[in-house]
Amino acid sequence: MQLTKMTAKEYPLATKIPESISTPTGKKLNDITLESVMLGQIKPEDIRISKETLEMQAQIAEEMKRDAIARNFRRAGELISVPDERILEIYNALRPFRSTKEELLTIADELEEKYNAKVNADFIREAAQVYETRKKLRVE
C-alpha cells in the first residue's frame, strides 16, 4: 500500500482524516462504533492499529522534528505481525540475566528473517552487545 506523505495538518488522524485509517483486518475507523460492537460486528482483532497508521504517525512526527517518536512508531509498526505471545517472550528474554548472547542473537535473526523487523532485530543485537559489555547476560 502506497501512503500519501503525511503532514502535521493531518494530525490528529482520527479527527482530520478518519477515512484514511484502517485496522489490520481492513475495518475502517468509521466502522468501529458502539453499535457495531454491541451487534458483534467488531472483534478484538478489529481494533488494533495498523502498520500503515503507525507510518502515518511517524511521518507527522518527523515533520514536527520528533525523530525519536518517529523511530518508535516505525519499530511498533514492524512488530504488528509478531504474535503478542512472542512479543512477551522476547520482552522477558531482554531482561538482565535472562538470556545468553546467543539466545538474543537468535531472537534478532528470527525478527529479521521471519517477521521482516530489521530495526527491532538491530535493537536486539545492540542489546546483546551492551549486555555483554555490562555483564548482564545469563551465564551457563
How does pLDDT run across 55-90, given as a tens digit for each residue? 999 999 999 999 999 999 999 999 999 999 999 999
Q: List the pLDDT tens digit at each of the 140 positions of the chain.
A: 456 788 999 999 989 999 999 999 999 999 999 999 999 999 998 999 999 999 999 999 999 999 999 999 999 999 999 999 999 999 999 999 999 999 999 999 999 999 999 999 999 999 999 999 999 999 98
Question: In the structure grid, which three cell numbers stand for residue 82, read together?
Answer: 509478531
DSSP states along 109-138? HHHHHHH--HHHHHHHHHHHHHHHHTT-S-
* pLDDT score recorded for residue 140: 84
* Distance between CA atoms of residues 87 and 80, nearest Å: 10
For the chain, domains (ranges, CATH) are 1-81 (no CATH), 83-140 (1.10.1510.20)
| HEC per residue, 95-106 | CCCCCCHHHHHH
Q: d(Cα 131, Cα 124) in Å, to the nearest integer? A: 10
Q: How far apart are CA 133 and CA 19, in angstroms?
A: 48
pTM over the 0.85 mark: no
